[in-house]
Structure 1
């Protein structure tokens, strides 16, 4: 009995060591757990957010071999609808949530603005808010009326359901039904191509997309709004009049793979991607 009694403290010591080892896993074990995240995420929505999320998804997949991320566009309205209906795991929305959408969860991954763009050959350097409203409602329909050449204005507008249209119309206090468009486009790339290919066109796109195109040999110019230069730098400073959050939206509080990806998309690990895509990172 005495021998067994003497062994008791030794047995308790061994048990304590084993318990501590199981609770404090080495980094290798933690990394292994990280790699064990598996599954597929479907994200749908904003064409402004989609290129950014696609690049973030590539980096995330490179760190998680068992994960696949499918990114589809279709506009912010689709992102909201698909998230609500459970068709998508995450919706992409390039604006704040409306009052009737507040049951959803929104997570901002970057900030952006909206810029008016014209062709590089157009001599017009600025337009007042009233001139922009008059152009989009067909009260001004020739460039000579605003100091340009004698040529009809080709008005390029976004399709219904695009948050860029909603923010543009809201800022300039235009009813969307009053806009008289010559060309209706979907994503930013289509808008940029349309204006770049037509010396007499005017449109509006994400500042990020517009600034990237203008600095990469696409023949467009970004017009100032209310005297403020359209640039990501001014969006970052908070001085540009038309700005917005770029959000990932979920039906309920995210968990598991869904949460891990959203956390990654909002982290310092992707701020270089956000800047490369000409958006403003969110402070973490």
Structure 2
């Protein structure tokens, strides 16, 4: 199956909520320069994969590497990011060990008092199926989805940010880029170190952060000229400032 062929004055990009805000701004700049309309829709990496395969999108946003059973698609790495555990800014909990995170998400630890915090239940915020952030989190901690005991299941990163910022006793995990951006803009949340490594752009750039990932645009078949032109535009080093504004690292091609 060749890549989808919508009208040449419009492109459709769907998928990862991690990539979508960045992509929306890049698309706006591209439209201003070229007049080509770019429709950016989120819905998760799984949607990006599915829509490209069905010819519903020119490019899919996928915030992880492609899997073995997705080799019919071509991944175009545009940036790097990581996944951070987040708590409310007022939560005094110290950095968590790997076993403590596992025990929280499997229900063995259910009160912050067991971790040196308040005598209040832990609100466990978990990502929905089909989200690459969830898949990578489970893989990193060696967990299966049916082991998780979640109080709240969310889709978009912004839902996770809102849930934790609105509940001093919640814990969740989202894109480092999203979390740092929101924290720097006054949202009351705190990123926890992972295995003793701070969750930051600096540790990502140094290759030290243990839960990092590539951010991809995926395609099927030969790219139409307009999609290739957009890909070239957003991969240009001149766009690095936009990536940094969203706390991502532009990938070198």
Instruction: Please report how far the alpha carbon of residue 41 of structure 1 lies from its aligned counterpart in structure 2 after TM superposition.
Output: 0.3
Q: TM-score, normalised by structure 1?
A: 0.85
| 1:95-244 paired onto structure 2 within 5 Å | 95-244=64-213
| Inter-partner Cα distance in structure 2 for 1:154 and 1:134 | 13
CA contact (8 A) 1:105 1:253 kept: no
Moved more, 259-268 or 135-144: 259-268
The C-alpha deviation readout for 1:182-240, integer Å capped at 9, x for no partner, is: 00111111100110000000000000000111111110000000000000111111100
Q: TM-score, normalised by structure 2?
A: 0.96
Query: Which residue number corresponds to residue 264 of structure 1?
Result: 233
| Inter-partner Cα distance in structure 1 for 2:60 and 2:128 | 19
- Tell which has more relative contact order, 1 or 2 (C-alpha 8 A, sep 6+): 2
3-state SS, counterpart of residue 180 of structure 1: coil
Structure 2: where are the runs of 5+ without partners? Answer: 1-6
Query: Which residue number corresponds to residue 40 of structure 1?
Result: 10
Query: Which residue number corresponds to residue 72 of structure 1?
Result: 41
| Inter-partner Cα distance in structure 1 for 2:115 and 2:158 | 26
Question: Once superposed, which parts of structure 1, at least 4 consecutive aligned residues long, lie more than 6 Å away?
Answer: none
Q: Which has the higher helix share?
A: 1
CA contact (8 A) 1:38 1:64 kept: no
The CA RMSD over aligned residues, in Å, is 1.1
The C-alpha deviation readout for 1:43-99, integer Å capped at 9, x for no partner, is: 11000011111111011111102x100000110000000001101111000000000
Count of aligned pairs: 247
Aligned partner (choices 66, 88, 91) of residue 60 of structure 2 = 91
Query: Which residue number corresponds to residue 4 of structure 2?
Result: none
